[in-house]
Amino acid sequence: MKNRLAATSPQVEGVVGAKACVSLRRPSVLLASLVGAGIALGVALYHQSTPETARHAGPEALIDRFEKVAFRDDVTPETERELFRHRLTRWEYPLRLGFSNVASEVRGQAANFTQELEKLIGRRVWIVSPASITSPNIRIVLPSKKEYEHKFFLLKEKNILRRGIEHYACFVNFVKNKKEYHPRIDVVFSPLAEDSDYLNCILEEIIQSLGLMGDTVQDFDSLFVEHRALRLDFPLNDKILLRTLYDPRLSDGMPREQAMIRVREIIPELLAAYEAEGLEGLYQPLRDPSW
């Protein structure tokens, strides 16, 4: 779930925010600084637009981060591992995304990543048309203010959401419906937020609904950072974490100790595959193409 207090201005990481401090009495220094800044900006933009060359965190940092996002929620302190969940949670069905009262730009932002999500998790991912007889199992909804307040305060009473309503642009709600054989997940947008907030959190909320639930306050190149600027890309670190969660050696409900033993094997292998093959080294085939 994404905090509304996060900055919403787009920025090139490591460039915007830096302040020039150059004496105008030394033109050569000024010129060199401008050239250096231009090179830095060009490199940053190149890496931003070319994910194959993106840098990832080291194996130990990724293993640590996996445990913190896969076995805890937003409100569990990162330092209190004894409070982490004891079992792994992940989605074991094809993903049918449905949208209700959501702007076309936000639907388009989600559509940009369906093929890559499919390759990373090994399950079919598609957007269900409102006219389809097939119902979505992950719904992205923008309710009315009254409906939103009702949903919010129900979760607040259960201590699932602990901050004020103004702090959330969106959150994930796991729906248990006895009439449905498969579970359903709702990604709920706040009508109090802006379209830029929805664009900022749509991919993150879909990924969190797949099992990587915990945000963090630590410095890490990821969507799962509590206070971050607007991001419309899919960070490489998050691709590795999601691919790890859906590795065939892990399963829904697996005990945390057993899962982490396997994660310590999986992540170094994925990093080696990425170094050898780029993003293709992270992808996996569909588990059951007949779905």
pLDDT of residue 7: 33
pLDDT of residue 179: 52
List, in sequence order, every beta strand (DSSP E) within 80-158: 95-100, 125-127, 138-141
First vs last C-alpha separation in the chain:
29
Residues near 137 by beta carbon (within 8 Å), at least 6 away in sequence: 93, 95, 96, 182, 183, 184, 185
pLDDT of residue 289: 54
Full-model pTM = 0.78
pLDDT in tens, the chain (291 residues): 655 433 332 222 222 222 223 333 334 434 444 444 444 444 344 344 444 446 899 999 999 999 999 998 766 777 788 888 899 999 888 999 999 999 999 999 999 999 999 999 999 999 999 888 888 999 999 999 999 999 888 888 887 777 788 888 888 888 765 555 456 889 999 999 988 899 989 999 999 999 998 887 767 889 987 776 788 999 999 999 999 999 999 999 999 999 999 999 999 999 999 999 999 999 999 976 554
Residues near 218 by beta carbon (within 8 Å), at least 6 away in sequence: 78, 225
Q: In 71-131, which ranges are continuous DSSP H helix?
A: 104-111, 114-121
pLDDT of residue 51: 45
Token pair of 72 as six digits: 């805890």
Partners of 87 in the β-ladder: 255
**Angle at alpha carbon of residue 101, lines to 100 and 105, rounded to 5°:** 100
pLDDT of residue 158: 81
* CATH topology classification for 54-281: Collagenase (Catalytic Domain) (3.40.390)
